[in-house]
Structures are given as C-alpha cells and as structure tokens.
Structure 1
Amino acid sequence: MNLIVLSIPLFFVLMGAEWVAGRVLGRRVFRGPDVFANLSLGAAQTVFGVVAGGLLAGAYVTLYSVRWFEIPTTSPVAWGLLLLGTDFCYYWFHRVSHRTHLGWMAHAPHHQSEDFNLSVALRQGPVQPFFSRVFYLPLALLGFPPAMFATVVALNTLYQFWVHTELIDTLGPLEWVLVTPSHHRVHHACNGRYLDKNHGAMLILWDRLFGTFEPERGRVTYGTVEPVRTFNPLLAAWRPFQEAVSLVRRTPRFQDKLRFWFMPPEWQPPGVESPHAEVAPGRPRFDVSPPRRAVLYLASVGVLTLGVTVVFLFRAGSLSAPLKLAFTAWFLASLGGLGGVLEGRRWAWWVEAPRLAVVPLAVLSL
C-alpha cells in the first residue's frame, strides 16, 4: 500500500492540531475556500498517480533491468545513500520546475495558495509526477530496487508536509542542515529576493552548495507572481497551461516558440508584450464569500466526495483500468462542480446534479 495514502488520516489529525494551535495563539490559520482548493488538488494528483501508476513506474523498472550495480535492500548504508540521492534528485527537479516554463506548468498549482499552512502541503499539480519522475531515473541505473526507491521517495515526500506552517519559528542549529518551516516559507514567497529560493526537500545543504539559499528576513507574500484568483481546482490546475499556450500562440518566430518551454517563467518571447508586475509585501489575498447554503452544500457534499475518493485510493489496486478511468472522470467533474458552487457559478448545478445521481454507482463499483 502507498505510504502517502496510508498517511492521509495523519494529515488530517495534524491539520486539526494546527487549527487548534492557531486558535490558542489568536491566529486564523485556515480559510475554507483555500483549504477546499488545496485538498482537491492534492486528491487530484493522488488519483492521477494511482491511475497512471504503471506508466510512472515503467521507465524506472526498465532502467533498473539494465542497472550498473547490484545494491542489497538489507544494507543500512544503501538506504542512507538512497535517501541522500533521492533528496539530491528532488532538489534538481524542484529547481528546474521553477526555472523552465515546461516544469512550472506542472508545479505552479502548488504555489498558487496565498496562505501557508499544512493544507498547502497537500496542494499539488495533478500532472507533476510525469515531470518529476524523470529526475530520479539515474537511481535506477545505479541499481536501487524499485520497491526500495518507492519507499524512500514516499518518505522524502512525507517529510515535506510539516514544513508548510507559519506556527513554527526557526530551529537553531538545525537550520544549517535541514529544510525547516522558515526555509520553506521563503520558498513559497513571491516577493523580492525570496523568489525561486530554497528548493531542497529534506536537506538545505543543496541550496547552500548551489547558490539558491535565502534566509527568512522580512515580510513574506505567498502565492504566484501572477495570482490565480480562483478557488476552482480545475481552473487553477489548467491556468498555467492556458497562459503558456497563449504566450506561445502570440510568439512570432518559430524558434522562439520552441525555446519558450525551456526558458524561465519570467522570460518573454521577443515581440510579445506581457509584463510581470513586481509583488509588493502585503498584497491583498483573493477571497470569496459564498452564501450559507453553498457553504452547507460544500461541507456535506464535499466531505462525501472526499470520502468516496479515499475509498477509491485504498481499493484502486483491485480495480480494473476502465473502472479507474470512469472514476477519474467522475472525480474531475466533482472538482469542477464543487469549485463552481463555491464561486457562485450558475452552470455548477448542471454539473452537480448528474454527478450526484451516479454517486451510488460509484460507491457500489468500489
């Protein structure tokens, strides 16, 4: 069973603890619409990962079959080296995902939230694994077995959960070695010198070695340089792709259309006017105020949808491919419909009515 899926109950327990701690300190840690978008995008990546699990693992398994070395799974040294190697590969995936349009499209949803709390850790780009897994393939050639790699990459991911909080200050000497909440607050900032810094997952040493480290000093503004201004998960996930395609279509020269995908997100093709504004500290956050009936609907139907999705994740290993695809289609309709209800879109109820009508079928099929 996937360690990330098994950890889902713990995620909610820790988010509850963060909410309680925030109340004690007199701070509002969570905003409902933002938490909805965060959890929905996290669930989307997990669902996509389950459906495409074989495809994601296939390249690693193929390269492992022509491995250069035999690495025993019983060796503590091998496990330590794999932990180090996985973190090193993650650093370069993360850095490239911030410094190329191609990588940023997949990674941007994780940075769209203008809050910073444990729910933001679960907000992920649904298709990001298709980009990130490429960076881990050298570990297969070195001879680290697939099951061993899957365990370590899950541990690497789980470590990153706790650093998404404003309630933990600096941690003394640990700040020199480990990625901490202070370091990661800098990473999620979009203002001034903080932009595109502190890419490490577990160890901050890589950032210190390769010149991307920045300490937390002064006020932090969270989110992306161009705010997404929606809590609809489907729209939020699609927006980076929409913006990239729009820029490419407006790019006059063919060579610049190709070059675009490998240039940094702030790069503008010659002949295209699309200036990036400087982000000032204290930028107002996007928010919505749904009516009470919409809140009650989201609280009840949203929890039902999340519950059905969790059951799917636990049962996915025994389900057929057509059933997985059918569930994914229903799940995507759920994200769009619920997001539309949250933002008061009239069309949302035309999505929600047929979606809810097939809930009994979805439950029975699982």
Structure 2
Amino acid sequence: MESIEEAITFLGGPAAIWVLAAAYFSSVILERLWALRGNPEYNNKDALCSIGLNLINSVFGLLIGFLIPLTLYVVVFEQFRLFDTLALWLAIPLAFLIHELAYYWDHRLAHRVGLLWAIHSIHHSSNEFNHTTAARGFLIDPHVKTLFLLPAALIGIDPVVFVGVTVLTNAYGIWNHASWVPRLGWLDRVLMTPKMHKVHHANQLQYIDRNYSQVTLLFDYLFGTTAHIDEEPNPGLVKPTYDYNPLTAQFVGFRQLKDRIDTADRWEDKLAYLWHPPEWSHDGVCRSDCPKYANLNPA
C-alpha cells in the first residue's frame, strides 16, 4: 500500500501534466514508427494538425482546464467535505468511479447540446483514428465535467489522490486511440478498448452518439448508449472536413453551426440551435450534423 501511495502522490503532484505529455508524445512517436512498417497510408498532414491543435489547446487550457477546476475542487474539499480524508483503498476506486461517471455525462452533453458540440466536434473532425487525435481539442474547453467531479471532494477524496487517478484514466484515454490495436475479444465487451472507442469516432448512422465512457463500458451499458462493431468504423464528421491548418481547423464545429443557424429567419429558431442537439433543425431538413447527412449527400 505504501508503494501505491507513493505512486499516487507522484502522479497527483506537479508531475501530473508532464506525465500526460510524456504519455501522449511517446505514444504518437511509437505509433508513427510502427506505421513505417505496418501502415503506409498514415496521414502525416492530419497528424501534424492534431498535434498543433493539442499544443494550442494545452497552452490555453492550462488555466481553464486544470488550475481553475483544481482550485474549485480544493476549496470544496477544504471547506465543505462531509467526511475526513478517506483511506486510500477506498478513495482510489471511488475516485475512479466518480471520474468515469463525470466523464460520461460531460462527454454526452458535449454531443447533445448544439453549442457544446461546436466546441467538441474538433476532436471528431479528423478522418483518421490514431494517437495524435487523442488530445485534438478546441483552444477553450468549458469543462462542464468539473461540476460532476465535486462530489468526490465533498465525500473527502484528497485532491492529490483524485488528480493521480485522473492522470491514469487520461493516460488510458490516450492509449484507446491506438490505430495498431486489433479487436480484443471479451475485453471489447468490458473496456473502452481502441476498437470500441473507434466506434465512438465513427460517422456511420449506427455508431453516432455511442460509447461515451473513457475506461470501461459500465455507464454506457447503464444508460443504453453502447454500440459494438459490425462494419468497420469510419472516423470523422458526418460532413467531413479536410482542413489541416490547426489555426483554422479549430473552428470547423462553429462553421457548421453557423451554416445551420443561417438557414433560420426567426431569432427564436437561430438561438434554438445553441441548445438543441446538433442534428436538430427548425424546419426538419437534415443538415451537416444530422446522422443521415452522409446517406443523403454521398461523396
């Protein structure tokens, strides 16, 4: 238990960001080396765009995505916790379950609220699926998840423990974007393996808005959002984009949202696009984020 405590203390301390950065870039480099032999169609332009998006997101997101949520967590832990700090053997599994549930609902909202989807869709805008896409994100993420994480502080899970567990789950979230991992049999029924997460990135009708969780399939099963593989998943948006400039690719979701808003004449309808699901339209016409768009507008 002492070695586990030391590991969690290390991961939950100042090294957290560097551990994740090392996990991301080492995964990207090793996957690219593997692709030299096993995947000659590896898209270098797309990969470099994803890495650029990650660097921009990391710089701007350090405050909003890490320091502010951590400060809020610490305040709740120090001022409002209901119990004394929990024992490590209990705190670690509880931290994992709370983080997994928070990730699920934050991710699901990002897909089901128009404005949040405009932000999150950059993560899905790559037409490739590999380690580079794991941290492909918008320069400012609202991090709704922070609100879902506060119960962990409220019940007394030490911030260092919670950050340490978060680092481990996020490192797993990098791995589950691997292009080189095949189907894993029964593990695909339990964990969010790379193939199961590739389903989430796919633009086929049967795969859209499925497999939201990060590490396990527990909450997808519980809330009825699980999809298993039948045909090979095809990653990308239902209205694909081919912008490899990280400075302009940032805004693909907002461009598609604006295109839909511009079809409405009434302000009530225009504003409704911000909170309705991304496939919604004021006149019932299937546009860009509508799951049937690809079938109605074949390339």
TM-score, structure 1 normalization:
0.69
Q: Residues 73 and 103 of structure 1: is their aligned pair in 2 closer, same or farther, counting only changes over 3 Å?
A: same
TM-score, structure 2 normalization:
0.83
Partners of 1:202 and 1:9 lie apart in 2 by 19
Instruction: Please show how residues 1-366 of structure 1 align to structure 2 within 5 Å.
Output: 1-25=14-38, 27-28=39-40, 30-52=42-64, 53-72=66-85, 74-248=87-261, 250-270=263-283, 274=287, 276=290, 278-279=293-294
Deviation at 1:260, TM superposition (A): 2.6
Q: Do the aligned residues in 1 keep the contact of 2:105 with 2:145 (CA within 8 Å)?
A: no
User: One-letter code of the match for 2:294?
Assistant: V
Deviation at 1:202, TM superposition (A): 0.5
Secondary structure at the aligned position of 1:96 is classed as helix
Partners of 2:178 and 2:88 lie apart in 1 by 35
Deviation at 1:218, TM superposition (A): 0.9
Secondary structure at the aligned position of 1:44 is classed as helix
Unaligned runs of 5+ in 2: 1-13
RCO greater where, 1 or 2, for CA within 8 Å and sep 6 or more? Answer: 2
Deviation at 1:78, TM superposition (A): 1.2
2:6 alignment counterpart? none
Partners of 1:185 and 1:205 lie apart in 2 by 17
Unaligned runs of 5+ in 1: 285-366
Q: Residues 197 and 274 of structure 1: is their aligned pair in 2 closer, same or farther, counting only changes over 3 Å?
A: closer
Q: Which has the larger radius of gyration?
A: 1
Partners of 2:195 and 2:171 lie apart in 1 by 17
Q: Residues 71 and 240 of structure 1: is their aligned pair in 2 closer, same or farther, counting only changes over 3 Å?
A: farther
- Could you report, residue by residue, the CA deviation over 1:68-113 in whole angstroms, capped at 9, with x for unpaired residues? 4225254211111111110111011111111111221221111111
Partners of 1:56 and 1:221 lie apart in 2 by 34
Partners of 2:125 and 2:21 lie apart in 1 by 22
Identity of aligned residues (%): 30
1:296 alignment counterpart? none
Q: Number of residue pairs matched?
A: 281
Q: Residues 68 and 57 of structure 1: is their aligned pair in 2 closer, same or farther, counting only changes over 3 Å?
A: closer
Partners of 2:154 and 2:282 lie apart in 1 by 37
Secondary structure at the aligned position of 2:233 is classed as coil
Partners of 2:157 and 2:200 lie apart in 1 by 30
User: One-letter code of the match for 2:36?
Assistant: R
